[in-house]
Amino acid sequence: MRIARAARVTKSLSVVLALGLLLTGCGVNNIPTYDEQAKAKWADVNNQYQRRADLIPNLVETVRGYAKQERETLEAVVNARAKATSIQVTPEIVNDPAKFKQFQEAQSQLSGALGRLIAISENYPDLKSNQNFLALQSQLEGTENRIGVARRDYIEAVRVYNTELRTLPGSLWASTLYRSHKPMETFTVAEETKRPPNVKF
Of these ranges, 8-12, 19-23, 121-125, the one predicted with the greatest mean pLDDT is 121-125
Q: What DSSP letter does each residue of 88-149 carry, written as one string?
A: ---GGGGG-HHHHHHHHHHHHHHHHHHHHHHHHGGG-HHHHT-HHHHHHHHHHHHHHHHHHH
Question: Which range is least confidently modeled, 26-30, 96-100, 159-163?
Answer: 26-30
- Mean pLDDT over each residue of the chain, to the nearest integer: 87
Task: Report the percent of the chain where pLDDT is more than 70.
Answer: 90
Instruction: Tell me the pLDDT tens digit for each residue of 94-116.
Output: 999 999 999 999 999 999 999 99
Instruction: Tell me the pLDDT tens digit for each residue of 46-96.
Output: 999 999 999 999 999 998 888 878 888 899 999 999 999 999 888 889 999
Query: How far apart are alpha carbons 29 and 152 in whole angstroms?
Result: 24
Assess whether pLDDT exceeds 90 at residue 154.
yes
Query: How far apart are alpha carbons 76 and 117 in whole angstroms?
Result: 9
